[in-house]
Amino acid sequence: MTAPTSCGGRTSDCGGTPPPALRGLGHFDEALKAYTEAKRIRTLVLGTSSPPVAATRNAEGHALSGLGRYTDAEAAHREVLDIHNLYADPHDPRVAEAYDGLGEALQGQGRHEEALACHRRALETYEVLYGEHHPRYAYSMSWIGIALAQTADAVEAMQACRKALDVYVASVGPSHLWAATCHEGLALSYARQGDTRRVEQHQAEAAVILQGVQGVRATGQIERLSQALARVRSDPSGH
């Protein structure tokens, strides 16, 4: 089914979704307020089930995950998928983005197997559309590594995170915010294997990237990594 074109078919129209700058800088509260206002305007103009509304709701979901409100984020991303199911091709990149967002929300709730399925679903689309050397492919791959690292498959997790990191280094640079996810996954993988030195190395790498981009606002994410590492160390089998 063809999506409505009331706004020229571009997500930048109809009030404009605020760019992800606030979210990327760790200003999750401010980003959420901006996205919520953009969604209100778009809903008034286009109704509740338009693709531009879905785009803003997806951004809301990411901001909610950034605030640790994972159940609310899950609800947001599921709403996005419901909208896209009305209009979008199953391999539309917007669908893949929603699956990645849903996976992140599920990971935050400790539902790693469900999250893994979501990220693999997104990866399939990115591989078809962009190939294996694109940052969006690496994004899904890094989150697959995070999920695997917390379900006892440390070797496969390392492979996924290193593959994603190689793509980031070649395409956007080693200090890009997304590269921090790879280091988090590697830290979790080495924690599963009991390799304290490498855990500390990658934990520090992730912290340096996060602090370089987000400053003091990186504290929450750094603390969440520390908590995840503690859980892995207390249960290396992943059960």
Tens of pLDDT, residue by residue over 57-116, are 999 999 999 999 999 999 999 999 999 999 888 899 999 999 999 999 999 999 999 999
Q: Which residue has the tokens 């590492």?
A: 229
Helix segments in the chain, DSSP class H? 21-24, 28-46, 51-66, 70-87, 93-108, 112-130, 135-149, 154-171, 177-193, 196-214, 219-234
Neighbours of 212 (CB within 10 A): 12
Range with the poorest average pLDDT among 42-46, 175-179, 216-220: 216-220
In the structure encoding, which two tokens stand for residue 180, read together?
């921090």
In the structure encoding, which two tokens stand for residue 143, read together?
């989150």
10 vs 50: CA distance, rounded Å: 11
- pTM above threshold 0.75: yes
Q: Which of 133, 132, 77, 79 is nearest to 104 (CA)?
A: 77
Percent above pLDDT 90 for the chain = 77
CA torsion angle for 167, 168, 173, 179 (degrees, to 10)? Answer: -150
On whether the CB atoms of residues 73 and 108 are closer than 8 A, the answer is yes
| Per-residue pLDDT reduced to its tens digit, 145-172 | 999 999 878 999 999 999 999 999 999 9
129 vs 168: CA distance, rounded Å: 18
Which amino acid is present at 110?
Answer: G
C-beta pairs of 40-49 under 8 Å, 24+ apart in sequence? 41/14, 41/15, 42/14, 42/15, 45/6, 45/7, 45/14, 45/15, 46/4, 46/6, 46/7, 46/14, 49/83, 49/86
What pLDDT is recorded for position 238?
66
Reported confidence tier of residue 13, pLDDT bands at 50, 70, 90: very low
157 vs 164: CA distance, rounded Å: 11
DSSP-derived letter for residue 216 is G
Q: Which residue has the tokens 């206002």?
A: 37
C-beta pairs of 15-21 under 8 Å, 24+ apart in sequence? 15/41, 15/42, 15/45, 17/52, 17/55, 17/56, 17/59, 18/59, 20/59, 20/62
15 vs 13: CA distance, rounded Å: 6
